[in-house]
Amino acid sequence: MSDHAVLHVKGRVLVGPDDVRDELWVVEGRISYDRPSGARDVRTVDGWALPGLVDAHCHVGLGAHGPVDTDVAEKQALTDREAGTLLIRDAGSPSDTRWIDDRDDLPKIIRAGRHIARTRRYIRGYAHEIEPDALVAYVGQEARRGDGWVKLVGDWIDRDLGDLSACWPREAIEAAIAEAHRLGARVTAHCFSEDSLTDLVESGIDCVEHATGLTEDLIPLFAERGVAIVPTLVNIATFPALADGGESKYPRWSAHMRRLHERRYDTVRNAHDAGIPVYVGTDAGGTLPHGLVAAEVAELVTAGIPPVEALAATTWAARAWLGRPGLEEGAAADLVVYDTDPRADVRVLAAPRRVVLGGRVVD
């Protein structure tokens, strides 16, 4: 990182999808559209500027077997920063990552506390594993620990059934979501299957992660209530390998996972076309590496979302949804600069020319 009195970003500044300006200035870490008078020691960055990218489903401090050491968590956050991800919605972590808030050289994080799962119904070492009678209490606890979000595991394989199934009874879900809302927190849930979604959406959930089971019958209700989805297509891409691994023991589950994978692009495009807000999330930190944000944007385009809207899903729209500014006057200067227009080809996101965090160029 290097400090400069004033930073001048010029070329094309994408303040919004249709709000393109020629330049911005960064003074004391904040964005300004007025050239500062008497500016000296000006550093110039040229190119196409976007607000710092958002990874709306990412895990910091989480590894394949649960919590990881602080130095590993730091590397995860640095990898995201290099990819241009400057705002993370952490979708569940067993680690205390509050120390990151004191580090102005690391991405900003909005936490959902720790995953809340039904007993033996999630990856070992990740979640609070509880029974429905404790759900409200745990939701209250994680709502207080987090930054305005709570994360439930809505469905998972039921080994006796040999297939995915919903984890919580309807009454428990209703009470839990009401408690989170009472505390000012939004609720999201991990859902692969179809049968967990109805109770969650009818109980007022705010977002669904993965949402591979979102079929035509429920799309209108999601759209009407403005329930967002974060598909994490780079994670869904691993379903065939998971299905292969579980084939001999759980053939029904394997076949189900393959079906969900096969229709993944249709699911996402149909949801988007119906007006359901779709955001970029990579699911990095469990089994997937960090830094995949560009790949996920490309996947949304492959699914049929127009490039500008796929970009919005990791920039303007995602920031508004999370209540964080973009490139507005006075906002913290978190931005990424590219060689060419990312609206013309989102693949440019894979190679940022410059990352600027808190007004400082990350070297």
Residues 6+ apart with CB under 8 A from 208: 154, 188, 189, 191, 197, 200, 201, 214, 222, 227, 228, 229, 230
Written as six digits, the tokens of 296 are 């996920």
Query: How far apart are CB 208 and Zn ion at their closest, in Å?
Result: 12
Helix (H) or strand (E) holding 7: strand 6-16
Q: Which is nearer to Zn ion, 114 or 360 (CB)?
A: 114
Q: Which is nearer to Zn ion, 283 or 334 (CB)?
A: 283
Q: How far apart, in whole angstroms, are the C-alpha atoms of residue 188 and residue 299? A: 22
Q: Does 55 bind Zn ion (CB under 5 A)?
A: no
> What distance, in Å, lies between the first and last C-alpha atoms of the chain?
6
Interaction pattern, residues 67-106, with Zn ion; x per rule: CB under 5 A: ------------------------x---------------
Q: Which is nearer to Zn ion, 189 or 310 (CB)?
A: 189
Name the burial class of residue 112, with classes exposed (0-12), middle (13-18) and buried (19+) by CB atoms within 10 angstroms of its CB. Answer: buried
Q: Which is nearer to Zn ion, 91 or 173 (CB)?
A: 91
Query: How far apart are CB 321 and Zn ion at their closest, in Å?
Result: 18
Q: Which among 159-167, 282-290, 294-302, 329-337 is the span making contact with Zn ion, rule CB under 5 A?
A: 282-290
CA angle 192/193/194 to nearest 5° reads 135
Q: How far apart, in whole angstroms, are the C-alpha atoms of residue 54 and residue 312? A: 10
Q: How far apart, in whole angstroms, are the C-alpha atoms of residue 208 and residue 191? A: 7
Query: How far apart are CB 98 and Zn ion at their closest, in Å?
Result: 20
Query: How far apart are CB 206 and Zn ion at their closest, in Å?
Result: 16
**Count of residues touching Zn ion (by CB under 5 A):** 2
Q: Which is nearer to Zn ion, 56 or 91 (CB)?
A: 91
Query: How far apart are CB 223 and Zn ion at their closest, in Å?
Result: 24
Report the residue number whose CB is nearest to Zn ion.
283
Q: How far apart, in whole angstroms, are the C-alpha atoms of residue 70 and residue 99? A: 9
Q: Which among 9-17, 34-42, 162-170, 281-289 is the span making contact with Zn ion, rule CB under 5 A?
A: 281-289
Q: Which is nearer to Zn ion, 44 or 287 (CB)?
A: 287
Q: Which is nearer to Zn ion, 234 or 332 (CB)?
A: 234
Length of the chain equals 363
CB 30 within 8 A of CB 332: yes
Query: How far apart are CB 77 and Zn ion at their closest, in Å?
Result: 16
Q: Does 283 bind Zn ion (CB under 5 A)?
A: yes
Q: Which is nearer to Zn ion, 91 or 278 (CB)?
A: 91
Within 208-267, which residues bind Zn ion (CB under 5 A)? none
SS3 351: coil
Query: How far apart are CB 93 and Zn ion at their closest, in Å?
Result: 10
Query: How far apart are CB 57 and Zn ion at their closest, in Å?
Result: 6
Q: Does 155 bind Zn ion (CB under 5 A)?
A: no
In DSSP notation, 287-344 reads: TBPS--HHHHHHHHHHHT--HHHHHHTTTHHHHHHTT---S-TTSB--EEEESS-TTT
CB 258 within 8 A of CB 240: yes
Q: How far apart, in whole angstroms, are the C-alpha atoms of residue 180 and residue 227? A: 16
Query: How far apart are CB 248 and Zn ion at their closest, in Å?
Result: 26
Q: Which among 40-48, 143-151, 275-283, 333-341 is the span making contact with Zn ion, rule CB under 5 A?
A: 275-283
Q: Which residues of this chain interact with Zn ion, rule CB under 5 A?
A: 91, 283
